[in-house]
Amino acid sequence: MADVRVVNVSKKFGKIVALDNVSLHIHEKEYFSLLGPSGCGKTTLLRLIAGLIQPDKGEIYIGERLVNNVPPEDRDIGFVFQTFALFPHMNVWDNVIYGPRVKGFDMKKAGTIGHEVLEMVKLHERSDAFPNELSGGMMQRTAVARALAAGAKLLLLDEPLGQLDAKVRNELRYDIRRMVKDLELTAIHVTHDQAEAMSISDRIAVIKKGKVQQVGTPEELYMNPQSVFVANFIGESNFLEGYVSTMIGKETSIELRGGTKVHATDGDLKRGERVVLAIRPETFTIEKEAKRGENVILGSVERVVFEGTNIRYEVRLENQDSILIVKPSLMGKWFNIGEKVTVSFQREKAHVFLYPETGLKEEIAVE
Amino acid sequence: MPKTKMLEALDRLSSKKAVKYGVYLIAVILFFALILLPPILGIIIKWNTMQQVLNQPALMSRALSAVQNSFIIALFVSALDVATGVPMAWLITRGKSKWLNVLDTVSDIPFIVPTAALGYSLLLFWSEPGGVSSLFGNSLISQGWLLVVLLHFTFSYPVVVRVIVGALLDYKKEYENASRTLGAPPFTASRTVTFPIIKPSLIAAFILAFSRSISETGATFIVAGAFENGPVFIQNMKKDYVGSTYEGSIVFASFILIAVALAIFLTIRALGPKLKLPVTKIWPTFERKLSYSKAASSRDSVTLLIFFAIVLIPSLFVALPALQAIFTDTLPKSLSGAGVWGEYWQSLLLSYFLGAVVTILNVIIGLPMAIIVARRKLGVLPSAVLDVLVNVPLVVPSIALGVSLAIFWKASFAFMPEMVVLIFAHLAITYPYFVRSMSAAVERISPDLEEAARTLGAKPLGVFRTIVLPLTKYSILSGAIMVFTRSVSETGATVAVVTSLRTAPVVIVDWVMKKVAATPLEIGLGCGFLIVFSFIILLALRLIVKGKGRY
């Protein structure tokens, strides 16, 4: 069994709280990502699971075993470092068979494993090369091969693609996922890149300032964010501030700044409460014709950015709020700067959150 | 001309190629003229006198066996230093106790005790009735080779620990973490990953300990008794022979010391990188046993025991008679300058004056050389050759260097005052220390910063003043500290060069060797003053340096 349970774990570095009472359950054979901005505590959590640092409080289980006092070498893990950490005085081959050797495998068995994993990462022809003779992608593939060769059932990846070019990064992330699935491993992957996490993970934990904000599949996080932070961090969101004017059952009527009224279905709210509406840029409809109806707001186009696949419009609403709308560039008509438009959204596409106590800006800040 | 105008003029001047390369050329010429060539020429001038030794088989075999002793002791002590310094450095950098900061600072103490005082301290501790010997009824370790080994181990230990601590702090611990996550217990991880990666620093530490051991004269003379190594042999020749036999013997011994030291140094430099750290085989079960609490805590205990019992306490043992002296009439007598003290205070002043002059000269002529070496300013090959040559005085025994320097200057420039020759001798010995530490500091600065300053309009001197200098301020000061302490401690080159001038360590050696009648309390107090003043000066310099120039 290589599931991982983190139970009420806290960790401080001096006065800085890196992790605050975190609990998670990562299932066996799951590809799980820890996602969050820099300094949120995701790497700390991974290093705690690896045993490279010790928790101040709480328990960590790998399988059925409580591993708090188990040194890293006995946790049966493979760890892939952001900086590769390939041993500079050993060639690719010696790096790869290092794990089997220190675990006492005979040279024949170590050799068989070495050939297998190098075949898997397509580096067989470079086995004599030293790390400084390899490209970034090759170095990381060697690092993955080395971690796999140690025979662990749990693979921990600390921003494994952070130092690579965009194109290599995109290729390698699917390769890693494929290998993890082929070998039926459990993987925990730390990243600050939400696109990376969304594209390879079975589930994701979004972490902010040492606390888990939400755990879910990529779809769940995207479609149903549970906080302003997650709505902003996963994908993009427009935030419109207002007050709850009426509540009938689950139907909420919200008065935005400037008196514009909109409707949403979300939330367990009270009348008069200050709220924030989060709406994805791609869920807006943008039209030239003036029309009437629910959740229709007038505005004018302030900025147009052509991005190839998509086109982005910055629209100033009549209440002076500014929103972003993203539309496929090959579909429909394009709008020009200064053009008057009507924007609208479906009520079920709007997520309503209580206005954060610390302020909206502070709540969605990633630094 | 106002200061800024003058700086601007100098800045402009520095962008002229002729001026820039002129400065570098002067630095190189000074290096050859003052530091590298005089010792070589000194030996060549008196080459023929060696015949005197070759004609006397007894003297030759005495000289050869003395030189052999020097190398055996230096190699043994350096190996022992690295073997015991590694666990100490490990404890300092990897231990978790809050006392380790204190241990880190305390481990430097034997480094700041001038070696002559250290030699006397060790003699008191191991041999004289007041030390540990009193527990055994008679002298535990009498003067001789064993005490020389202990002495050399004691004064080179802090240097080795410092170098390895630096290497472990600079080392990316991620490699070790990677090794642990792959299943290696701590012992295996450090043996197969950490130490092979910091191997260049281990070799550097070995060379430093080796060169310190091969050079040391004053303290060795105090504890050697009838035992002779190279420097002691040269010293003894003074009283045993006169005229050309004396000259021949010291030139012979110096030549062999220099030649073998260089051969060893070059061999280590050439073979060091190819040396595979012992055994690539791994014994998982056995190494696992060595990795955890019992073995690790016994290793730490032995390390601390060695440090306190063999290094620290014997180094500071001289404090006892010094403290005793404070409560007798020795203290007022010393302060009044009566008896032996007149010469003592004069010698102390001379030592510090010499240290200061040599430090300033080093900064002036060493800085351009450090830049040449670090930035390959004179082309790749010439700069690399200079890089190797700069190290030469470091590995040449200082008494041999002093002997050949004295011959050269006195033979070629007889009018040269003894004081100037003494300054040149100390300059030659300390030069590599300064250039090495500065070139390492300059190498650490990214050339991008200098290029950025140039693209913003700074002239070469302006780049040096506004970028290189502020970023290396800390290294200049720490290099200066090293030069100053080395000069104040130096005995070998001093005794080889001077006839009338006496520096503080030379006076201490004379007192201990009973060339001048001084009581044990007086010797203790003399050493005490030397240690206290050195400590105060170092502390003052450290306070000045503290927090400055570290970015």
Q: What is the pLDDT of residues A49-80, one digit of tens each?
A: 999 999 999 999 999 999 999 999 999 999 99
B185 touches chain A (CB under 8 A): yes
In a domain, B11, yes or no: no
* A87 and A95 Cβ atoms separated by less than 8 Å: yes
- Cβ distance of A88 and B197 shorter than 8 Å: yes
Q: Which of B175, B183, B184 sits opposite A85 (nearest CB)?
A: B175
Q: What are the residues facing A252 on neighbouring strands?
A: A247, A264
Give one word for A68, left, alpha or beta, with left for phi > 0 and alpha for psi -120 to 50.
alpha
- Cβ distance of B177 and A150 shorter than 8 Å: no
* pLDDT by 10s per residue, chain B, length 551: 577 788 888 888 888 888 888 999 999 999 999 999 998 898 899 899 888 888 899 999 999 999 999 999 999 999 999 999 999 999 999 888 888 878 887 887 777 788 889 999 999 999 887 777 776 667 778 888 999 999 999 999 988 998 899 889 888 899 999 999 999 999 999 999 999 999 989 998 998 899 889 989 889 999 998 899 999 999 898 778 777 788 899 899 999 998 998 899 888 888 887 777 656 778 888 888 888 878 888 999 999 999 999 999 999 898 888 998 889 888 888 888 888 899 999 999 999 999 999 999 999 999 999 999 998 888 889 988 998 899 888 878 888 889 889 999 888 888 889 999 999 999 999 999 899 889 988 988 888 898 888 888 888 888 888 888 888 887 888 888 889 888 998 988 998 888 889 999 999 999 988 888 888 899 999 999 988 888 888 777 767 766 554 44
A70 touches chain B (CB under 8 A): no
* Residue of A75, A77, A101 for testing the chain B interface, max B β-carbons within 10 Å: A101
Reported pTM = 0.83
Q: Which of B172, B180, B196 sits opposite A89 (nearest CB)?
A: B196
Residue found by looking up tokens 């935005």 in the block:
A256
ipTM over 0.85: no
Q: How far apart are CA B197 and CA A235, in angstroms?
A: 43
Q: Check whether residue B292 and residue B329 sit in a common domain.
A: no
In a domain, B24, yes or no: no
Residues of B in contact with A89 (CB under 8 A): 196-197
Burial of B262 (0-12, 13-18, 19+ CB in 10 A): middle
- Cβ distance of A87 and B197 shorter than 8 Å: yes
Strand duo A274-279 + A238-248: pairing: antiparallel
- Among residues B317, B337, B364, the one where a domain terminates is B317
- Cβ distance of A73 and B196 shorter than 8 Å: no
- Angle, helix B418-444 to helix B37-45, in steps of 10 degrees: 140
- Angle, helix B341-375 to helix B17-30, in steps of 10 degrees: 140
Q: How far apart are CA B358 and CA B426, in angstroms?
A: 7
Residues in chain B: 551
A109 touches chain B (CB under 8 A): no
In a domain, B249, yes or no: no
Please give the pLDDT value at position A292. 80
In a domain, B17, yes or no: no
Q: Check whether residue B340 and residue B293 sit in a common domain.
A: no
Q: Which of B175, B181, B189 sits opposite A78 (nearest CB)?
A: B181
DSSP H or E segment with residue B176: helix B173-181
Q: How far apart are CA B194 and CA B167, in angstroms?
A: 10
- Cβ distance of A102 and B184 shorter than 8 Å: yes
- Cβ distance of A72 and B172 shorter than 8 Å: no
In a domain, B9, yes or no: no
In a domain, B14, yes or no: no
Give the mean pLDDT of A233-250.
90
Q: What's the sign of the alpha-carbon dihedral B427, B430, B432, B438?
A: negative
B98 HSE (CA, 13 A, CB side): 0
Task: Name the 3-class secondary structure at A304.
Answer: strand
**Three-state secondary structure readout of B434-498:** HHHHHHHHHHHCCHHHHHHHHHCCCCHHHHHHHHHHHHHHHHHHHHHHHHHHHHHHCCHHHHHHC
Q: How far apart are CA B203 and CA B274, in angstroms?
A: 12
Structure tokens at B343: 């010469």
Q: Check whether residue B272 and residue B334 sit in a common domain.
A: no
Q: Check whether residue B495 and residue B424 sit in a common domain.
A: yes
Please give the pLDDT value at position A59. 97
Tally of domains within chain B: 2
Q: Check whether residue B368 and residue B298 sit in a common domain.
A: no
Q: What is the mean pLDDT of chain A?
A: 92
A8 touches chain B (CB under 8 A): no
Structure tokens at A296: 């229709």
A77 touches chain B (CB under 8 A): yes
Tell me which residue range forms the domain holding B141.
73-228+256-317
Q: What's the sign of the alpha-carbon dihedral B439, B441, B444, B448?
A: negative
Q: Check whether residue B308 and residue B325 sit in a common domain.
A: no
- Cβ distance of A146 and B182 shorter than 8 Å: yes
Q: Which of A72, A85, A102 sits opposite B174 (nearest CB)?
A: A85
Q: How many CB atoms lie within 10 A of CB B38?
A: 24
Please give the pLDDT value at position B550. 46
- Cβ distance of A104 and B285 shorter than 8 Å: yes
Q: Check whether residue B284 and residue B335 sit in a common domain.
A: no
- Cβ distance of A79 and B177 shorter than 8 Å: yes
Q: Which of B172, B174, B180 sits opposite A72 (nearest CB)?
A: B180
Structure tokens at A18: 């890196």
Please give the pLDDT value at position B514. 82
Q: How far apart are CA B532 and CA B46, in angstroms?
A: 41
Q: Check whether residue B213 and residue B339 sit in a common domain.
A: no
Q: Which of residues 226-265 of B touch A (CB under 8 A)?
A: none
Q: Check whether residue B276 and residue B342 sit in a common domain.
A: no
Q: Please report, for residues A5, A158, B151, B466, the alpha-carbon distance to residue A36 in angstroms, rounded to integers and kept in the order given.
A: 19, 12, 57, 40
Backbone angles phi, psi at B500, to 5 degrees: -110, -35
- Among residues B317, B351, B386, the one where a domain terminates is B317
Residues of B in contact with A77 (CB under 8 A): 181
In a domain, B40, yes or no: no
Give the mean pLDDT of A195-206.
96
B197 touches chain A (CB under 8 A): yes
In this structure, what CATH number is given to the domain that contains residue B118? 1.10.3720.10
Q: Check whether residue B85 and residue B154 sit in a common domain.
A: yes
- Among residues B278, B302, B317, the one where a domain terminates is B317
Q: Check whether residue B453 and residue B484 sit in a common domain.
A: yes
Give the mean pLDDT of A240-266.
87
Please give the pLDDT value at position B546. 62
Please give the pLDDT value at position A267. 63
Q: Check whether residue B277 and residue B355 sit in a common domain.
A: no
Q: How far apart are CA B537 and CA B34, in angstroms?
A: 28
Q: How far apart are CA B541 and CA A298, in angstroms?
A: 72
Please give the pLDDT value at position A152. 87
Q: How far apart are CA A146 and CA A95, in angstroms?
A: 6
* B390 and B427 Cβ atoms separated by less than 8 Å: no
Q: Which domains does chain A have, with CATH numbers?
A: 4-230 (3.40.50.300), 237-364 (2.40.50.140)
In a domain, B387, yes or no: no
Strand duo A238-248 + A310-317: pairing: unpaired
